[in-house]
Amino acid sequence: MEKAMASLIHGQSGHTKAFLLAAKTRPKEESIPLLFHVLQSSNLWLEAMMMLLWINFSRIKGMASFFEWENDLAKKPEQAVQAVEAYRHFWTAMYSLALAFLELTEQLMLEMANLHRPSPDRRLAEQQVIQVLELLDDLSRFLLRKAEF
């Protein structure tokens, strides 16, 4: 499950980076709407991923107390190593995703700052940038909680 979720996260990270590259190669009239679209889809994806991660974490907590995984893994060191590797892969994917989203918000904020006249979508974009940053904050807090568990 950890590996599958890490693959999903790596996919979204690559998707975001591809759109960032596409936006850099297009004229400003096309790049700003493209970045707004990426921002909207990123927000929706982050919300869905948060829900999936929360469901997965709740299952793990419930099963861990039932099966006492810690004692079970102590008897099977090869499975413990695999679990640690899967979790490390997951954290690497999350780090890559966070960097991609931060780059997206940075590029969008630079584009909005360079606009000579206010765009009607500017206020909406500012709210969505804040929402992405808040979701990343929630996600990092959740992952720390998962790591502590």
Instruction: Give the pLDDT of the chain (149 residues) as one tens digit per residue.
Output: 778 888 888 888 888 888 888 888 887 777 777 888 888 888 888 888 888 888 877 777 766 665 566 666 667 777 667 777 877 888 888 888 888 888 888 887 777 777 666 666 677 777 777 887 888 888 778 777 777 76
Instruction: Report d(CA 140, CA 131) in Å as an integer.
Output: 14
Instruction: Report d(CA 119, CA 100) in Å as an integer.
Output: 24
Q: How far is CA 140 from CA 53, 78, 119, in A?
A: 12, 28, 32
In this structure, what token pair is assigned to residue 101? 């989203």
Instruction: Find, among 47, 60, 43, the residue nearest to 2 by Cα.
Output: 60
Instruction: Report d(CA 118, CA 130) in Å as an integer.
Output: 18
